[in-house]
Amino acid sequence: MVDYIDQHRERFGVEPICRILRRAGIQIAPSSYYAAKTRPPSPRAVADQQRLEMIRRVHVDNYGVYGVRKMHAELNRRGHRIARCTVHRLMRGDGLRGVS
């Protein structure tokens, strides 16, 4: 929702957008929007960014052919303890795929 409001706030303003979203059944107050904008990133978001950089590096090093299973094994070989489901989530979110 924050990204949506950011895209349209110059044209319509934050409060009118929130009012229309409330009528559509999406509960967001202007104060919630501003709180989300000023809040620092969560520890998970910071860790995910660092992990994603490592995954991208390993993916490029291996010519973009590693999928989740091999990527997870390679990261563990390199000493990066990361859960397989986390590797899957980050690769999917970044559009990284192995070669079939």
Q: What is the pLDDT of residues 38-86, one digit of tens each?
A: 999 999 999 999 999 999 999 999 999 999 999 999 999 999 999 999 9
Domain boundaries, the chain: 2-38, 43-94
Q: Give percent of the chain with pLDDT exceeding 90.
A: 93
pTM here is: 0.72
The pLDDT value given to residue 23: 93
- For residue 12, pLDDT beyond 90: yes
Report the half-sphere exposure of 2 (CA within 13 A, side-chain side).
9
Give residue for tokens 């489901």.
85
What is the DSSP annotation of 12-46?
H-HHHHHHHHHHTT----HHHHHHHHHSPPPHHHH
The pLDDT value given to residue 1: 86
